[in-house]
Amino acid sequence: MTDDRYFDDILSDYVDRSPFPLDSNGGPPGIAQGSARISEVAEMFSCTASEAAASVFAYALSRFIGSKDVVFTVVEKGRSFPIRVDCGDKSPMEFVSSASDALRNASATGASFSQEDFERYDIGQDVVFGDLRTDERTNLAFRSDGDAMSLYRSSRISEKTAERFLDVCKKVAEGLLEREKMSSIDYLSDSDLKLLESLNDNAEDLGFRNLSEMFEKTVSEHPDRTFCRYLDRSMTYAEAEKVTRACASELLEAGVRREECVVIAISKSEWYLLAPVAIVRSGACYVSIDHRMPDEMAAMMIKETQARIVLVDAQTKERMSKLAGLFGCRMIDVADFGKKGVSRDLPMDANPGSVACIQYTSGTTGVPKGAMVRHAGVINVMVNDACRFDTARGGCFAIASTPSFLAFHVEFWNCVYFGKTTVIVPDDLRYDIASLNRFYSENGIDTAFLITPLAKLYVSNVKETPLNALSIGGEPTGFFEYDLDVDMKEGYGCTEYGCIASTKVRDRTDPNSVGKVACNTKAYILDDEGRRVPYGAVGTLHIAGLSLTKGYLFRDQDNASSFRRNPFCDEPGYERLFRVGDTARFLPDGTLGVLGRKDGQVKIRGFRVELTEVETAIRRCEDVVDVCVAAPRMGGGTRSLVAYVVGKRRFDQEEIARIVRETKAEHMVPSYVVNLERLPIGRTGKIDRKSLPVPEPAGSGEAPSDGLEGIICGCMSKVLGTPVGPDDDFIALGGDSLRAAAMAVQVSADPGWPKDRLLKSADIMRLRTPRRMASEDRTRLECPRRFDFKTGCPMPDGMMNFFLNGMEGQDFLLSFAIASDGWTDVERLKEAVLAVVKAHPILGCRCEVRDGVPWAAFGSPVRIGLSEKDVFEEGAEPSKPMDIRREAMSRFTICRNGGGYGVLVDISHVIFDGFSVNPLVRSLKDAYDGKPLKKDEGVLEASAFSVAVRKTPEFEESRRMMLEEVSGKDFFPAVRTSGSEKREGPREVNAVVRELSAGRSAVEERARSAGVSAGMLLSAAFGIARAKHVGRKTSLFAQVQNGRGNSDLDGTICNYANPVPFFTDLDADMDIPEHLRRCADRSYRFISKDQYPMWMLIKEAGWYTDAMFQYVPYTELAGSVPECEVMGYVKTAMRGLDNFEVLPDDDGLIMAVTPKPGCDLEDLDAFIGKFDEVLSGMLSKDRLSEL
């Protein structure tokens, strides 16, 4: 029986349930003995011996569990009850008085707690005072008899720990008698101090003064080793040295000073790596802004760092010009960076303490802070790897994270230190385990970095791996076993210190271990008053050493609270102490154990999230009265962000997500929102967090209809921690990209899942419900090759669509002028062209029709000519028509380019799409540089797939679906012709380019809020504009899809573009988001099937459309090969067909049109105006009728 009112009062707001620290191998249970001046304490403070012993015990316990708020079980006269003692800093008299009152008052209730009572108050019984109870629930039991102390310990506590605890009790009793404040009690023994100091004895020589020196040493040793690779672009260390030297010289010429901040604001490319090296070599420091970062955050970073120069690329230029322009910054496009021919002596005098980069981290005030990372801090990580691990030199290292993550920079410079090749993983592969592993294999990757949750998925579900080692980080691994033959190396650290400790996952003996303290690092576990705690006790981790940052940029108050003089060491390099904030302890094996955090920071998907920062973002909404953000563990033990909102009205998750996204990164967006009338407040006036309801995802749990649905529902339920029905929405239930990756792995591993059927993480994010996922046919086709370059092959669908659209004879001629300053030898360039033609047999392809089927026939000679004209002037001239049935569909002309040479390529669009440009340019450059070229068999792969598809029921189903889509509809051309079409002789193409009013980010945000892609929104706007331009309710056009979904086609030359019919019907008025979703569902139905070639169906069914439309969200289809310049020209318009493309122009959008011969350009201009009007309306209006 209990006195509920008393215990309700003292325990209602108790949330800090810190357990006694356990040892992984404590040995057999036992009893330790000791003595303390307990009777003297009782006499001095006029209390009973039991009260004096309870006071001593409570304070010693608080020092071991790392909490001032202590609750433990008292056994008195056969009954058990809890007491709560405040062990904060006060006088000994006040402390003993309050502890005695706590024991006296609890005892006076006469309570005798049952097991159910302890469970009701969520109070453990692992620590007991007053009786040496030895049941299975007890880890530590204390009893005193006068000054004699006895301590029972279970097998989960070592004998040494028990002896240390009694020693602390002895010192606490002495301190109560001799000290004036509890904070002045020195309870650490000399033997413990000596042991703790030995763990910090880890000095090693850095070897380099700065990163520039380290980079140049690697260049001198391995100049021909590949420095970096991204997509089909690569660069040797010698080439990287040349590029970064030129860029650093340009920065110095611009007046960049030592340690001045230079901002990097670029999209993913090789410049992720080149830009930091160039900036560091100039003596400046770099600041990386993720191009997906909210404007407010990016602007704050530019302003705070006082940057004068911002590095941009084509994708970020427009957006950055608006932000950087606010502060008078100069922008340098990396496409032009280092090409001014400036040469300066580079400074090499940066010392280890100089700032190398500014890395922003979450702040306890809700405002991110820029940590000034020093050269020594980065280099020390490499030194630690070299000393602690058998890290091989050379090899290829894959990085999937972004520059906003400190691990990106640490691992990249690690590659430089060990002479490795850094390979940047494309974004679309990051969460797809199977594709990621295939990427590793195809790119010769032997080491990689992944955030911890993704790494666990990888090693648990991949059967074979090319990796020798896998670096992980972002959040603790815990105890984790796996069978894959790869060494997982876990790094533990923070932005302010880089690597604090590291270990091999298989080497740990305790799930909390993060390994031994890193080289040149001293770790201190302190209590709240700044005293070192005994070995094995829990406290707050503090750190000193060579990796410690210089502090926070322009944050004196934060620096004063987070960095202070180190009172435990005055050695050079260790004079400052940083409070990490994690609770930690030293484990029996000498490694550091990390238990969690005391402050408001949590780890979500590997990112450190400051909860108050998310709260601050939500409070910006005027209808929010109060808010609390928490991160409870949901199903499967995964933490999710939950926003508890008190508002003037109700809020849903989508609205809160939109509010947070305006100023914060994606990982800070709450997955759940709970509306409350008021936040629960405890007796101390603080939010009672344990009373906050943990949301239960609103899964219906409806029974699935078939086996596949059942498997998907089961895996989705396991990942999300809630019952799931076939129509429950993955994203609405809290799903994200990482959970999608986990779910895809579980589905594929289910024994009932067909082994030839695919469900990728991207499919899960797109389809969202189990019913849709089950209906998505992703069966992997067997595509045997029956053709080769001697026999020829049936045209792949991309080629066939253009061949049929061109009335089987039109050449669709494109021209590309390609030049490089290094091409000075005409014979060598000619040999390079010959090598390219040999490596890419598609270039010698012509068209044949065999038994009514279009074929690609190979082996036709490719003409290679010479011209004294400038290559770019020649490219702008009309080109001679190409007979695609009788000659090769490409020809090359070597032309002049200043003092060197360039190549003009005339090529038919039948065999060449926009994504073929880079492989062609890269091949030319590599061949000129003497590098071997791989045989391009992409056209044979695509042909085999097309042939296999035609034998499937889905192929005919695709035809039926397309026919049903437009059957009985009446279509009209949207843009008039003038009747002046030219049909013979050289063609002139009147290309039209217009800037659109809508911004790219606005389009993407509106699309995201509707649950569709930006391309789908633009396609829908195009369809509506076509109908409205001619005053009708319906329209039809060809929506072009990129057909390079098969990774085997990357880096190959061919036309893989797939047009699908896009039908618009405006008969019914509806909300614009609903219209967009219907368009997406219709389009995805076509894409999900093995589609029937659209132009084949047009010819069979007599359809009519006069337009092709495509959104190209890539800023560069050409011109992205280093040291090469590319200019493209459209030489042939499509008869009867206008080709429309919307392309990004930084944060703006442009429409580029290749009009059909005879197009009425005035009417075309009017139509573009209508499209611009409709698109702007779709961003601001609610219903179709308002457009």
Per residue in 794-836, pLDDT tens? 888 778 877 776 544 566 788 889 999 889 999 999 999 999 9
Range with lowest mean pLDDT among 301-310, 604-613, 992-1001: 604-613
**How much is the pLDDT for 605?**
54
Q: Is 436 helix (H, G, I), strand (E, B) or coil?
A: helix
Give percent of the chain above pLDDT 90.
42
Q: Which domains does the chain have, with CATH numbers?
A: 4-187 (3.30.559.30), 188-209+377-599 (3.40.50.12780), 601-691 (3.30.300.30), 707-775 (1.10.1200.10), 946-1186 (3.30.559.30)
Strands 261-264 and 309-312: parallel
Q: Is the pLDDT of residue 979 over 70?
A: no
- Return the percentage of the chain with pLDDT > 70, whole number: 85
The larger pLDDT score, comparing residue 623 to residue 96, is at 96
pLDDT of residue 455: 83
- Per-residue pLDDT at 823: 94
pLDDT surpassing 90 at residue 719: no
Q: Tens digits of per-residue pLDDT, 786-805?
A: 788 999 998 887 788 777 76
Q: Are 93 and 75 in contact (CB under 8 A)?
A: no
pLDDT at 15: 64
281-302 pLDDT tens trace: 999 999 999 877 778 888 999 9
Distance in angstroms (rounded) separating the CA atoms of residues 283 and 271: 18
For residue 166, the surrounding DSSP H or E stretch is: helix 159-178
Look at 34 and 719; give whichever has higher pLDDT. 34
Residue 285, burial from CB neighbour count under 10 angstroms (0-12, 13-18, 19+): buried
The total of other beta-carbon atoms located within 10 Å of residue 1073's CB is 18
User: What tokens were used for 494?
Assistant: 């923070």
Does 341 score more than 90 pLDDT?
A: no
Given a cut of 50, is residue 984 above it in pLDDT?
no
pLDDT at 365 over 50: no
Is it the case that residue 717 has pLDDT exceeding 70?
A: yes
Amino acid at 860: S
145 beta partners: 148
| DSSP for 922-975, written as a single string | HHHHHHHTT-------HHHHHHHHHHHHTTSHHHHHHHHHHHHHHTT-----SS
With a CB cutoff of 8 Å and minimum separation 6, the contacts of 151 are: 31, 32, 33, 34, 140, 141, 142, 162, 165, 166
d(CA 906, CA 813): 7
Place of tokens 């944050």: 555
Share of the chain residues as helix, strand and coil, in percent rounded to the nearest 5:
35, 25, 40
Q: Which of left, alpha, beta for 480 (phi over 0: left; psi -120 to 50: alpha)?
A: beta
Pick the closest to residue 491 from 512, 518, 464 (CA basis). Answer: 518
User: In the prediction, which pLDDT does 1 show?
Assistant: 44
Looking at the chain, the number of H-run helices and the number of E-run strands are 34, 45
Reported as a pLDDT band with limits 50, 70 and 90, residue 228 is: very high
966 backbone dihedrals φ, ψ, rounded to 5°:
-120, 5
In whole angstroms, what separates CA 118 from the centre of its chain?
43
pLDDT tens across 77-103, in order?
889 999 999 999 999 999 999 999 999
pLDDT, tens digit (0-9, with 9 covering 90-100), for 581-594: 889 999 999 999 98
Residue 362: band (very low, low, confident or very high) from pLDDT cuts 50, 70, 90: low
Q: Is the pLDDT of residue 987 over 60?
A: no
> Can you tell me the distance from the alpha carbon of 3 to that of 10, in angstroms, rounded to the nearest whole number?
11
Convert the pLDDT of each residue in 435-462 to its tens digit.
899 999 989 999 999 887 678 778 877 8
Position 1047 scores a pLDDT of: 44
Question: What pLDDT does 981 receive?
Answer: 45
Q: Between 406-417 and 271-281, two packed helices, what is the crossing angle to 10 degrees?
A: 70
Q: Which has more confidence, 975 or 74?
A: 74
* pLDDT value for 973: 75
The better pLDDT of the pair 608, 888 is held by 888
User: Where is average pLDDT lowest: 60-69, 793-802, 865-874, 979-988?
Assistant: 979-988
Structure pTM? 0.59
**Comparing 782 with 1039, which gets the higher pLDDT?**
1039
Beta bridge partners of 229: 234, 423
3-state secondary structure of 96: helix
Contacts of 846 (CB under 8 A, 6+ apart): 856, 857, 860, 884, 885, 886, 887, 888, 889
Pairwise CA distance, residues 764 & 728, whole Å: 12
Evaluated on CA atoms 699, 704, 707, 708, the torsion sign reads negative
pLDDT in tens, 510-566: 878 999 999 999 999 999 999 999 999 999 999 999 999 999 999 988 899 899 999
Give the residue, 638 or 9, on which the prediction is more confident: 9
1031: helix, strand or coil: coil
Concatenate the DSSP letters of all residues of 812-878 into one string.
-EEEEEEE-TT---HHHHHHHHHHHHHH-GGGG-EEEEETTEEEEE--PPPEEEEEEEEHHHHHHS-
Mean pLDDT of the chain: 84
pLDDT band at 367 (very low <50, low <70, confident <90, very high): low
C-alpha count within 13 angstroms, C-beta hemisphere, residue 522: 24
d(CA 584, CA 482): 26
Of residues 905 and 807, more confidence is placed in 905
- What does the pLDDT read at residue 1117? 45
Residue 1132 has pLDDT above 70, yes or no: no
Q: Could you tell me whether strands 539-545 and 521-526 are parallel, antiparallel, or unpaired per DSSP bridges?
A: antiparallel
For residues 1093 and 797, is the Cβ–Cβ distance under 8 A?
Answer: yes
Mean pLDDT to the nearest integer, 575-585: 92
| pLDDT tens string 469-516 | 999 887 667 667 788 899 999 888 888 998 999 998 888 888 789 999
Q: What is the DSSP letter of 336?
A: T
Q: What is the pLDDT of residue 684?
A: 44
pLDDT in the model for residue 779: 55
Query: Which two three-digit tokens encode residue 784?
Result: 């045997």
* Tens digit of each residue's pLDDT (9 = 90 or more) over 130-185: 988 777 788 999 999 999 999 999 998 999 999 999 999 999 999 999 999 999 99
Q: CA dist 605 to 631, 633, 669, 1037, Å? A: 12, 13, 12, 42
How far is 68 from 529, CA to CA, in rounded Å?
A: 10
Q: Tell me the residue type at 994.
A: R
Question: Which three-class secondary structure state does DSSP give residue 693?
Answer: coil
The pLDDT score that the predictor gives to residue 1116 is 39
DSSP per position, 582-603: EEEEE-TTS-EEEEEESSSEEE
Residue 417's pLDDT is 95
Backbone torsions φ then ψ of 721, nearest 5 degrees = 75, 35
With cut-offs at 50, 70 and 90, classify the pLDDT of residue 1101.
low
- What is the reported pLDDT for 166? 97
Per DSSP, the residues of 1107-1119 read: EEEEE---S-SSS
